[in-house]
Amino acid sequence: MIKLLKHYINKRTITTIITSIILMIMVYINEVDAEYIGKMYQGDNMPYLDTPINLPFGNIIAYAIILTIIFTVFEFSFRMKKVTVDQMYSLPIKRSKLYLTKYIIGIFEIIIPLTLSYIVMVLMIVTKEHMFNLVYAIPHYFGVIFFTIILYTTLVFIFTRCNNTVDGLINILLYTFFTTIIMVGLELKNGINYTILSPIILFNNVMEFKTYGFTEFINQKDITELIISSIYNIVLCIIMVILFFVFIKKEKAEASETKSNGVFAYNLMIPLYTTFLIAKLIDNSIPTAIIIIIASYIGYVIKNRSFKLTKKDLILFGGSIFLGFILRLILNII
């Protein structure tokens, strides 16, 4: 494993350098004309503080998310093609060590460019008049790195549960959408902050500097959310890692380039969406319910690459619709 790791470090050096340069240039372009001082303006009834539009610490989070998606696909797309997966599985190394090596290399490919761009960002802030307390950039940096690893681990599991690249990307989008936009919808509907369960939303909810003044890092509410979300995401990642190594021992190379019929792909995400949306978001609107059901059917069409549904699909399709309406009735009663 050590030899393979050294091989990949040498092989990925140029890629990491190019990624770092591109990211640092993007940081420079975004921050070169940015203002970091809020200005007071007189409103109709009272003065208000106009905070900087460009929030560099939010931008770095966006870069982190983009890098995790790119290098998840870059490092693990080999298993989506029969030629490359046969080549990789023929190496004189255990399959678990092969995947662990690819996982570690992916972390380096993300963390190194992210760290260098973070340094550039802070240096650019220092050279200007600003309203940040940069002492808090240190815990912010480690927080970003921590949740980047959490997100990367999650996306690796989600992506590799599919048998081709297209399905893998769709699975990432489905998971990301469900754990962010859907949870935001829940929060708006009943006031409970479900968004802290999403590593992506948590970036902005907890690890970003305060909008006004930038004189403190996090308050007691943020600390509580940080602890809850950290525990939740760490436990979830541990479960995913365990399942990941269990699955790869049983997977066959012949499954590459075939339909993704695994439990943690379409077979989970489509029923989950259908049940959840019907139960929580239709607002007693029949047209909305019909749209959700049609969208669910389209999901199965994409999964099967056919308009015909298998018996298993019909059971999941009908069952998720039925469960959604049952849950909605229960929630209305409660």
Residue 111 pLDDT more than 70?
yes
Largest CA distance in the chain: 74
Q: What is the Cα–Cα distance from 307 to 304, expressed in whole angstroms?
A: 8
Residue 217 pLDDT more than 70?
no
pLDDT (0 to 100) of residue 48: 52
Q: Of 255, 256, 205, which Cα lies nearest the Cα of 230?
A: 205
**Tokens 């109709």 sit at which residue?**
44
Mean predicted confidence (pLDDT) in 216-245: 76
Mean predicted confidence (pLDDT) in 204-211: 47
Global pTM value: 0.83
pLDDT (0 to 100) of residue 16: 93
Mean predicted confidence (pLDDT) in 61-82: 90
Ordered alpha helix ranges (H), 127-195: 137-160, 165-177, 183-190
Helix, strand, coil abundance in the chain, percent, nearest 5? 75, 5, 20
**Residue 127 per-residue DSSP state:** T
Residue 298 pLDDT more than 80?
yes
pLDDT (0 to 100) of residue 207: 47
| pLDDT tens digits along 158-174 | 999 988 899 999 988 88
Residue 210 pLDDT more than 50?
no
pLDDT band for 71, please (50, 70, 90 cuts): very high
The domain ranges of the chain are: 2-259, 265-334
Q: What is the Cα–Cα distance from 135 to 232, expressed in whole angstroms?
A: 28
Lowest mean pLDDT among 17-26, 39-48, 82-91, 321-330: 39-48
Q: What is the Cα–Cα distance from 282 to 321, expressed in whole angstroms?
A: 12
pLDDT band for 186, please (50, 70, 90 cuts): low
Residue type, 14: I
Residue 43 pLDDT more than 70?
no
Q: What is the Cα–Cα distance from 256 to 76, expressed in whole angstroms?
A: 12
Residue 326 pLDDT more than 80?
yes
